[in-house]
Each structure stands twice: as structure tokens, then as C-alpha cells.
Amino acid sequence: MNKLVANAKEATKDIESGMTLMLGGFGLCGIPENCIAALVDKGINNLTCISNNAGVDDFGLGLLLQKRQIKKMISSYVGENDEFERQMLSGELEVDLIPQGSLASRCQAGGAGIPAFFTPAGYGTEVAFGKEVRYFNGKPHILESALTADFAIVKAWKGDRYGNLIFKGTARNFNPLMAMAGKITIAEVEELVEPGELDPNFIHTPGIFIQRIFQGEKYEKRIEQRTVRQRLT
Amino acid sequence: MNKLVANAKEATKDIESGMTLMLGGFGLCGIPENCIAALVDKGINNLTCISNNAGVDDFGLGLLLQKRQIKKMISSYVGENDEFERQMLSGELEVDLIPQGSLASRCQAGGAGIPAFFTPAGYGTEVAFGKEVRYFNGKPHILESALTADFAIVKAWKGDRYGNLIFKGTARNFNPLMAMAGKITIAEVEELVEPGELDPNFIHTPGIFIQRIFQGEKYEKRIEQRTVRQRLT
Amino acid sequence: MLDKKGIAKRIAQELQHNWYVNLGIGIPTLIANYIPEGIDVEFQSENGILGMGPFPFEGEEDADMINAGKQTITPMPGASIFDSATSFAMIRGQHIQLTVLGAMEVADNGDIANWKIPGKMVKGMGGAMDLVASADNIIVAMMHTNKRGKSKLLRQCTLPLTGVRCVKKVVTNLAVLDITPQGFKLLERAPGVSVEEIQNATEGRLVVEGDIPEMQID
Amino acid sequence: MLDKKGIAKRIAQELQHNWYVNLGIGIPTLIANYIPEGIDVEFQSENGILGMGPFPFEGEEDADMINAGKQTITPMPGASIFDSATSFAMIRGQHIQLTVLGAMEVADNGDIANWKIPGKMVKGMGGAMDLVASADNIIVAMMHTNKRGKSKLLRQCTLPLTGVRCVKKVVTNLAVLDITPQGFKLLERAPGVSVEEIQNATEGRLVVEGDIPEMQID
């Protein structure tokens, strides 16, 4: 069960133009920095990216947007990015906006072999256009379908070569869900440990969902909104 | 957020005859022993019990069956219990058998506000009778609905008075799923700890799903199939 | 008339002991500063934390510990962290007792619009659609009128909807109002604000019955 | 003719490096004893463990560490534990490369019946329906005929189905057979068993093309 690869370049070697990718993270928190850099280097384009956000102008998925490598974004919130706005308003970039909970559940469903489910989110809004509506307990719901991807790319705190992962704090977010939904899932970790070091009882993502793993060269872990309080002196 | 109650008796005080209960556990592993004993003592009946299994003759849900307190079982596997067999064959006990994965997902859906979902499990079998069939990617699926309960009763290893829980080993099984799906959820734990003692990063069931918690008086933790290997000498 | 802090203070009075609460970005976030004494609540942030605490002290910011507004935060003792699907299981499954969020428009039937202005850059709905479609108890915190003086409490929303018939209560700089089958029911006036001023600032149906008390805010 | 161990040994030859495998109760469980050298596989048990290891040494049994057969087990280094919904996410989501289970009947179109005999006590399907409906690669391990000598490889199942058109391969005490659009295709004979014996013991359509080799089992 050795899924170790050397680095981001090797992990992403067969990602091609036109593919659909899932990328973990919420804002800039828990994003696969090293793989994104490798994708920028590869110069592939026409990518469909499923990611809750689209990064900022000069970090995260913003780096792929700058180089016009993304054809379509499937996200729940895409503020904080001027280049994104420009491409979207000019029609260069397709954008599919999805309620955040539906996005999370659709990824989870994709990984879990559940092709579709009913949710109340979005009923009566433009999100429901063309979707089946059904009432349960007198309340309207819409049918949402599962999402999968050619590659899912996630970032974890620690992992072993079997692919077992643990995440740190709110950097967990979409990562464990997308890890389940990739035809091939790549995990980049801050720290690679030996199998057996992670307590089986506290593994967030079992290795079965991961096909490739490597320790990232470096992590900037940029903070988007640095908010602090004053110390009482 | 103090959800502490004194014991199983207090935790189950308003469980009434005719109610629907979910009970965690797989076989005799991870079952809420103390609450089951309290339910036997209460002598209520006509219960609908959602539980993967039905215990053995003299332990687990078998204790409730012996006293004819259960009207209906919703389970995936009910072997290992002679009294169960007798009541079922004589028609005293209603039994609704559900594929194990569908049972797990239906509980999870119930807790997650997903009223129904499509699954391939059971298509073409009697489990599919009366259920909607739909094809996704050329493969037939059936529509399964969410399960909820008046009370969900789960057993954890450690918990704090906020209701945060961690489970031990494969005693996790259905417990975290059912914890989400009770209108009121009772957690009994082997060890009660102070809030903050459990690492927020490794909590299996966040306290929001739990309404009452107590430390069980004692745990027999009976083993159903004791299998061992010989030491090489 | 209330300022944003005042709106937050008034909504804080709605908090009940042992409630789990989700606060949206903007005015709602301020509510955490005014929790009444003796009331124990826990804040959920939909990116995946329950038991969200205050901002960290300077120098203790952790890039891996943020809220849904992408702000650095700290966990309270007893906090728990989970993935985004579990987070929305809490929301959709109605395990959260109160959701407070801002709005661009609220209609007198409870419809809400707060995510999109046609022709302008659309940032996305984030978790708002899940929140409003699921919560039993939704309070909108907003100014009564927009920057051009136009009412935000309408007979019908003009902007694309975020959710239908979901808002239960609105707290503005002018008033506290319940959504009823007859429209906005005026419950309280902001200090120094007359019923007439509220009537003038409300385009939707407004129900005024008997004496309308003034809010009690310190 | 093979015994149960022999069937397990033959199926073990199907294992491929880095596969995740779910073994049913009975003959399938024995397969874990015959993993070919150099082949690294991990066993999943649907109650919620991946990386299931051998039984514990006497005195080291842990009531909180069991497999789907309720037997006490041990975890291997690198194992992981999860709830039953995640477990069936692995199964339904086709993350498991091989599922081996027993059967009462298999039809030549891949239908399988293994959970219920009308008029007898029904124990339930457990995870079998999820497993057969989801897995791409399902091998049935069973005796070729039942205790009364009647074929279990049928034109059509007579018992209530567990799943339809799902079985890919059958390994019995007599033969290895693939399920094809033309029916059971005979691939290998058990040591000392003739094609004629297999034909006589098979009620469903049997395709025999060319020379049928004998299984290679140590």
C-alpha cells in the first residue's frame, strides 16, 4: 500500500488540459499549495475546478486564474479576487455557483456512491432552475446530483504512505469530502509519518481514498483576514 | 451547555411506550448497556427499535425482547437470538430488514436534513418493492428515505458535559450516525471528562448532536465471538 | 435610531440558554460581543467549527483556525472541529437553534434576497441558501432602508432570492418585526423612533396593533 | 475436488497488489490465510475498519475490536477505524477492488441469492445487498451443489435475490467460472474433476470452449 510519490510534479504528472479537478480548502485555509504551483508550472488549461473558493489574486487558485488555465469554476463563494471578477464579467470564465452545504454534500455523495439526494437548500431560487422539486413533510426540496472529479487534490497536516490523513483545525473543511470523490486523489501533507504512527481511532481520511501522497516542499499558509484582539495590560 | 444527567434512569425518564428509538452498536459491540437496562426496568412497551442487530437472548436488545417490550425491529441482521426468532415466526414481532449500508446512510441522512437519496443497494430485490427506481449512469438505483427517532441512544468511550464524544475502535459503528438522528439523543460513556480534555481536532461526535450525557455505572462489554490465535512458543 | 452595534445588542436579547447559534458576516458577527449574563451559547461557523471563541492575541494567529469570514479565531474549551458536510448536517438537520444573517431585501412573506445584484459582480451565496432553507429560527439583521433611502422591507423581493418564506424576525435600526401571515408585525420601536417613521420606511405590509413599546437597550 | 480451504486458496490467486478487499463470512474469510507472496492487500470489514489483522492472542481480546462476523480481531499497523456510513461509502463508492462472498444460488446472468429462504427464519441481509449492488468485482465462493446434491449454479435463482447481474466470477469446489452474456464460462477444473462432472452439476447455461485447464493449487 505504498502510495508515496516524490513531489507535486510527479503527483500531478498525468493531469491534463480539459480535466475536472476538485481542490480542497476554504478561502486560503487548507489549500494544496504545492500541487497548485505544479499545475501552474505544467501550463495546462481548460480546467474545470471544483473548489469552495477561487483564491485571491496572487495566491491559491488565483495563480491558475492569472494564467487563464481555468475554463470553469464550481464554487460557493468567489469574492476577494479581481482577476476572477474581470474574467467572469468578460465571459472568459464560466462560473457555477452552488450553495456551500450542497457543494459539500455533493462531493461526499460522489465519493459515497450516492448519485443524487434531496435538499431544501436553494428551493425557490435560481439554483433550483431545472431541478426536480419534491415535498417531504410538507417542505419543498430539490434534487441535487453527486460531484466527482478526474483528480481530487487535498492538503492534510500529517499522512502516511498508506494514504491515511489527519487535518489540523479548520483546514479540514472540504478536504476529507473531496478526497473521497476523486477518480484519483492526491494528498499533499505538511508531515509524512510512518504507518502506525497515526492512531487508527483518530484518522480523518482512511487511506483507501488516497492514491498518491507526498510531503509538500514548503507551506506559506497565508492568512486572508488577520484579526486579533488586544492583550489587557 | 451542561447536558449532564445523573444516570440512565434520569436520561430515559421521558421515553414512553410506543416511541421509536435508535440504539447504537454492532452486535454487542458499542451498545448502550446502561440505558437498555433502564428501559427494561421502566417496563414500557410497543417500542420500535432501529438498531443494526437485535442482541442475543440474554444481552443487548435481547433483554427488551424477552420482556416483549419491542413491537417492531428495524435492522439489517437479526441472527443469534432464539427469542427473536420465536416472536418473529409467531407474528408477535414486526421486522423491517434493511441493507446495512442503507440503514447507516438513512440514519445519517435523518440527522443531516436530507430527506431521501438514491442508492444502488437492494435494486431488483424485495427491498425495492414500492420504491422509486431511477437510472444514473446507466445503473439502476432506488430511492431511500431518511430515518429519525424520538430518542437516539448511543454509547461512547469518553465524553464531556457539552456532549462531545469519542468512540473506541469498532465500537464506533452506528453510534455517531444515530447520534445525529434523534430528536433527543442520549449518550452514555465509559468515562466522563472535563470540557477541553478532548482534543477539538479529534472529536467523533460534536456536542451539538447530544442532549443528555452520563457515565454508565458499569460495562460488561460482552464478546459475541471470542476468536484468538495461538502464540508461537 | 440604532446603529449597527445597537442592532446587535437587541438581537443578543433573543439568545436563550444552551442555544447553538450561527452568525453571518457583518452586523450578526457583532452579536457575540453582547451575550446576556447567565446565557450560555455556542457559536458555529459553517466552515467547520463549533465553540468558536474570540480573535487570537496578536502573534498567536493560526492560519489553520479561521471562521467562515476567513478571520483568524480561537476555539473555546469544549470546541469541536469537523468537515464541511458535517457542518451543514448541523445546519440542514436543524440542530442550530438560531441563525442571524444580513439581507439586501426581506419580503413580508419571509422571502429573503441577500446574495446577488443582477449586472454586478456576483460573489456567490456561500452557506446562506443552506442556512435560510433549513433553520427554524432565522433573524435578519439589517438597516431598514438602503443607502438611497429605499425600504428593504418589501411587499415582494426585487432581487434574486436566497430563500422563500423563511425569515421569522427582522431587527433593523428602526424596529423589531415578526413575519406573520398578515405581513411585518411591528413589535418594538428603536429608541426615539415613531411608528409613523417606521410606516414610512416600510414598503411591505405592516401590522401595527395597540401601543408599540420602545426597545430596552443599555 | 476442492475443500473449502482449496476454494479459498484458489480465490487468493485473484488478489492483486494494493487491492482493498472485503471478505464475507465463511469460506471468504479463509482467503486471508493464503495471500500470495509479494502481494500487499488490505482487508475492510464493513462494521468500520480498514486494515483488519489476525485474531488476537489469547487474553488480548478487545470487546471494542471486532469484524463484521462479530469475531475479535486486531488492527494492522496503518489501520483506520470509521463509522458505518463511511464504511459503506467505501463500498458503494467503489473504492474496494474485490468483494468475495458466499451464496445459496447464482444465476448464469450474475444474479445472486444468499440471504433468505422463504418459510425459514430470516436473519437479514446485513451488508450483502450494498456489497453486491456496488462492487465492480464480485467473486462468489461456494460449493457447486447444495447438501441435497442440487446445483447452485442456475438458469435463474429460485430464492429471493440479494442483487441482480452483479456476480463476475464463481469459484466452487469443482470449477472456476466467469459470468458472460452466454452464461457460466468454464475457466478451470478443480484437480481431478472432469468437464462432464461440472456439466452435470451445473443447471445454468455452461459455456465450454476448448481445453479446460486444471487449477494450479499447492
Smallest Cα distance from D46 to chain B, Å: 9
Taking residues C182-187, what's their average pLDDT?
98
Smallest Cα distance from C139 to chain B, Å: 20
Chain D residues whose CB is inside 8 A of the A178 CB are none
Determine the Cα–Cα distance for residues D210 and D204; give it in Å rounded to an integer: 19
pLDDT in tens, D73-126: 999 999 999 999 999 999 999 999 999 999 999 999 999 999 999 888 789 999
Alpha carbons within 13 A on the beta-carbon side of D210: 4
Residue A169 confidence class, pLDDT cut points 50, 70, 90:
very high
Determine the Cα–Cα distance for residues B127 and C6; give it in Å rounded to an integer: 57
Task: Please check whether residue B229 touches D, CB under 8 A.
Answer: yes
Residue A140: how many CB atoms within 10 A of its CB? Answer: 16
Which of B122, B177, B204 lies at the smallest CB-CB distance from D85?
B177
pLDDT in tens, D169-210: 999 999 999 999 999 999 999 999 999 999 999 999 999 999
pLDDT at position C28 is 94
Q: What is the pTM of this model?
A: 0.97
Listed residue (C89, A13, A63) closest to B114, CA to CA: C89
Other chains touching D, judged by 3 or more CB pairs under 8 Å = A, B
Q: D188 - beta bridge partners?
A: D176
Chain C interface, mutation test: which of A26, A56, A170, A227, most C Cβ atoms within 10 Å? A170
pLDDT at position A81 is 84
Amino acid at A221: K
pLDDT at position B79 is 81
- Is there a contact between A104 and C87 if contact means CB atoms under 8 Å apart? yes
Q: Is D46 one of the catalytic residues?
A: yes
- Is there a contact between C88 and A101 if contact means CB atoms under 8 Å apart? yes
- Is there a contact between D121 and B105 if contact means CB atoms under 8 Å apart? no
Determine the Cα–Cα distance for residues B34 and B5; give it in Å rounded to an integer: 13
- Is there a contact between A167 and B201 if contact means CB atoms under 8 Å apart? yes
pLDDT in tens, A32-57: 999 999 999 999 999 999 999 999 99
Determine the Cα–Cα distance for residues D63 and A30; give it in Å rounded to an integer: 37
Cβ–Cβ pairs < 8 A, chains A and B: 48
**Owner of C-alpha cell 482534543:** B199
With contact defined as beta carbons under 8 Å apart, do D217 and D2 qualify? yes
First to last CA, chain B: 54
Chain D residues whose CB is inside 8 A of the A164 CB are 78, 80
Listed residue (C139, C89, C75) closest to C112, CA to CA: C139
For D59, nearest residue in chain B (alpha carbons): B228
From the candidates C46, C105, C188, C203, give the one annotated as an active-site residue: C46
Lookup: cell for B31: 451498545
Chain A residues whose CB is inside 8 A of the B141 CB are 115
Chain B interface, mutation test: which of C17, C80, C136, most B Cβ atoms within 10 Å? C80
- Is there a contact between A200 and D20 if contact means CB atoms under 8 Å apart? no
Residue A182 φ then ψ, to 5°: -90, 140
pLDDT at position A230 is 87
From the candidates D42, D46, D105, D203, give the one annotated as an active-site residue: D46
pLDDT averaged over every residue in chain A = 96
Which of B122, B168, B174 lies at the smallest CB-CB distance from D84?
B174
DSSP conformational letter for C218: -
pLDDT in tens, chain B (233 residues): 899 999 999 999 999 999 999 999 999 999 999 999 999 999 999 999 999 999 999 999 999 999 999 999 999 999 878 889 889 889 999 999 999 999 999 999 999 999 999 999 999 999 999 999 999 999 999 999 999 999 999 999 999 999 999 999 999 999 999 999 999 999 999 999 999 999 999 999 999 999 999 999 999 999 999 999 988 76
- Is there a contact between A169 and B117 if contact means CB atoms under 8 Å apart? no
Ordered DSSP codes for A55-113: -BTTBTTHHHHHTT-EEEEEES---S-HHHHHHHHTTSSEEEE--HHHHHHHHHHHHHT
Other chains touching C, judged by 3 or more CB pairs under 8 Å = A, B
Which of A2, A180, A200 lies at the smallest CB-CB distance from D80?
A200
Which of C42, C82, C91 lies at the smallest CB-CB distance from B1?
C42
DSSP conformational letter for B56: B
Task: Please check whether residue B167 touches A, CB under 8 A.
Answer: yes
- Is there a contact between A168 and C84 if contact means CB atoms under 8 Å apart? no
Instruction: For chain B, positions 71-110, list CB contacts with chain A under 8 A.
Output: 105, 109
Question: Diameter of chain B by CA atoms?
Answer: 59
For A157, nearest residue in chain C (alpha carbons): C64
| Predicted ipTM beyond 0.85 | yes
Task: Please check whether residue B209 touches C, CB under 8 A.
Answer: yes
Chain D interface, mutation test: which of A164, A208, A213, most D Cβ atoms within 10 Å? A208
Instruction: For chain B, positions 39-98, list CB contacts with chain D under 8 A.
Output: 52, 75-80, 85, 88-89, 95, 97
Cβ burial, residue D113 (10 Å; 0-12/13-18/19+): buried
Residue C26 confidence class, pLDDT cut points 50, 70, 90:
confident
Chain B residues whose CB is inside 8 A of the A166 CB are 201
Smallest Cα distance from A65 to chain D, Å: 31
In this structure, the dihedral spanned by the alpha carbons of residues C116, C118, C122 and C124, taken in order and rounded to 10 degrees, is 30
- Is there a contact between C85 and A121 if contact means CB atoms under 8 Å apart? no
Ordered DSSP codes for C53-117: -PPPBTT---TT-B-TTSBB--EEEEEEE--HHHHHHHHHTT--SEEEE--SEEETTS-EE-S--
Smallest Cα distance from B30 to chain C, Å: 22
Smallest Cα distance from C130 to chain A, Å: 4
pLDDT in tens, A117-142: 999 999 999 999 999 999 999 999 99
Percent of chain A with pLDDT strictly greater than 90: 93
Amino acid at C66: I
- Is there a contact between D130 and B107 if contact means CB atoms under 8 Å apart? no
Chain A residues whose CB is inside 8 A of the B166 CB are 201
pLDDT in tens, A66-107: 999 999 999 999 987 888 988 988 999 999 999 999 999 999
Smallest Cα distance from B152 to chain D, Å: 16
Instruction: For chain A, positions 21-40, list CB contacts with chain C under 8 A.
Output: 26-30
Lookup: cell for B228: 484468538
Which of D77, D88, D90 lies at the smallest CB-CB distance from A208?
D90
pLDDT in tens, C67-122: 999 999 999 999 999 999 999 999 999 999 999 999 999 999 999 999 998 888 78
- Is there a contact between A108 and D89 if contact means CB atoms under 8 Å apart? yes
Domains of chain B: 8-113+147-215 (3.40.1080.10)
pLDDT at position B6 is 98
Smallest Cα distance from A201 to chain D, Å: 5
**Owner of C-alpha cell 401595527:** C208
